[in-house]
Chain A
Amino acid sequence: MKAIIHVIEYDFRNFFRYRWFIAALIAMNLADLFISAIVFTQMTSIVNYFKFFAPGLAVVGLFASAFMIGREINMEVRREIHHYMLSLPMTRTELAIGRVLAGGLRGMLYMTPLLITNFIVLSFPTLPQLLLILVTLLLLAIGISGVSIAIATSTTSFEKFVTARGAVYYLFFFCSSVFYPLSMIQVLSTRGLWPLVAFAQINPLTNGSDLIRSFLLNSPEYRFSPLMLLDVAAFSVIFALVATFAYSRILQRR
């Protein structure tokens, strides 16, 4: 356990090296909320878009920041820093688990100001609701960190990593209820894009943002279902395992 904590500490120190970059990301996220969402609120009567989008924004922020660990690991693979990592007094599994957890925890840290903004502009949850939100988001962040590490270890080319990251981003963001209600996505079925609709329904970003909405929006359209948590947990377990395996493998191979 101590070794894992050391790895997490190492990744957190790296994370704070990018503090200005993180501040700029938060500024961009807030611009989305306080400019785009406010204007779209004037354009749609289906939902109060500002209130609808705020929980989605927290999930977008979580996704982007948890994904950053992949960029660092890809850089380490390219520059062969893993030789140094292997010289550390810990097992490869501890190292891999530490990296996956660190990615997730960094995502949580980044997302905190966005979640607090949600509480301020929407409503404050009860203590059990808050705990459920935090557990779900932590699981989501660990799963995203896992996806990111799995992609980062599958290529030594930064450009290929960036391209794959872009494709994953767009698939997860646009095929989810982050930007628009799930009921609106059904329109894609009529254009033969039903696989995307099916993906949107099981997308952990959909379930994560809808779970927050169910507690903060007080709307009958969004009701908490244990399946939401189950979906996010399944995603988290699968990708955390895949990432641990992929990271351990790449350390052994080189």
Chain B
Amino acid sequence: MGLRKLWLVIERDLRMFIRYKFMLIMRGIWFLSQIALFGLVVNRMVQQAATAVGIDYFLYYVAGVTIISLYSTSMFIGYDIFEEAEHGVFEYLLTLPVSRRELVLGRSIGGGLRAFIYVGPLLIIVLAILGVANPLNMLIALASLFLFAFGVSGMSITIAVAMKSGDKYDILMGVLDALIVRLSTTMYPTFYMQRAMPAYAMVANFNPLTYAADLFRWGTGVEGAIQSNPLIGVLGLFIFFFSFTFVGVVFYERRLEGGSWQ
């Protein structure tokens, strides 16, 4: 497998990402309004409950919103794949002097990398707000977030190639987004999910967004008394990354055969 060719595929996806400049601006506005408006106001509303479990809700929420941003930008790659199928770009990609495996792996890596590049500046702002309790923990957390971004990107590719209709993909993504974000600890601690509905907490315990959010909070030191075991998070994200990158690559590679995307 040629690394140079792999890089060319990744570079193409990075360049394509810049085309979404208005979409990226919108995501930036969403991120800021989530922090500066929703976060501040809800912090006041849930202050007592947050103190009871030893967290500052505003900081807790800021970390969660960062993970939601990383998740949603990593999902973008699936939309690109659909657009390419619709506009006949698949055929062009197949004529390139890169193997299918390089093409597929490059897309998966590109999808995760560009999300990380986009979230990078936001991450710097967030780290300035949250601080870093332990640099080593932070490095482990960031490495895990890389796995998370690549895993989400692989998941997006898997779903995109498994569906024939762009509309259905859009709908499924919407529903998945609604459930995966809400049934995670990005917005509230598991303790309160457990109290509200034990089934919600159970789902959250196997949710990659929970692992990513909890690890990021562990890296910054904001989670306090309700910190879950970081090792479980790292392991969970590694399994998530490995399964979806592998499945995504195999699915995408198979779909390229015989024009089955048409």
A binding-site residues for B, Cβ under 8 Å: 20-21, 23-25, 27-28, 31-32, 35-36, 38-47, 157, 159-160, 162-163, 166-167, 170-171, 174-175, 179-181, 184-185, 187-188, 191, 193, 196
Contact = CB atoms under 8 A, between A and B. Distances in A.
A166 B29 contact: yes
A43 B49 contact: yes
Nearest to A181: B45
Given A24-B174, A44-B49, A167 B29 contact: yes
The majority secondary structure among interface residues of chain A is: helix
Given A166-B29, A196-B37, 9 more contacts: A24-B172, A39-B193, A39-B200, A43-B46, A157-B22, A159-B23, A166-B26, A180-B41, A188-B41
A45 B52 CA distance: 13
Interface in B68-86: none
Interface in B40-59: 40-42, 44-46, 48-50
A157 B26 CA distance: 14
Contacts of B29: 163, 166-167, 170
B46 A162 contact: no
Contacts of A31: 178-179, 182
Contacts of B167: 20-21
A162 B37 contact: no
Contact of A28 (B22, B45, B178): B178
B164 interface: no
A38 B46 contact: no
B7 interface: no
A174 B38 contact: yes
Contacts of A170: 29-30, 33, 37
B40 A187 contact: yes
A180 B38 CA distance: 9
Interface string B170-192: 11101101110011000110001
Contacts of B12: none
16 contacts: A20-B168, A21-B174, A27-B174, A28-B177, A31-B179, A32-B178, A35-B179, A35-B182, A35-B183, A157-B22, A160-B22, A166-B29, A167-B29, A170-B33, A184-B45, A196-B37
What 3 pairs across the A-B complex have the smallest Cβ distances?
A: A159-B22, A166-B26, A174-B37
A193 B46 contact: no
The majority secondary structure among interface residues of chain B is: helix
B41 A185 contact: yes
Contacts of B197: 38-39
A36 to B, nearest CB: 5
Contacts of B42: 40, 179-180, 184
B30 A166 contact: yes
Given A27-B178, A32-B178, A167-B29, A40 B23 contact: no
A40 B46 contact: yes
Given A38-B197, A46-B45, A180-B41, A32 B26 contact: no
A41 B196 CA distance: 8
Contacts of A42: 49, 192, 195-196
Contacts of A24: 171-172, 174-175
A180 B26 contact: no
Contacts of B36: 193
Contact of A21 (B23, B38, B44, B171): B171
Given A39-B196, A170-B33, A27 B175 contact: yes
A38 B196 contact: yes
Contact of B26 (A21, A46, A47, A162): A162
A32 B182 contact: yes
A42 B49 CA distance: 8
A27 B183 CA distance: 14
Contacts of B33: 170-171, 174
Nearest to B194: A42
B40 A40 contact: no
A188 B178 contact: no
B37 A175 contact: yes
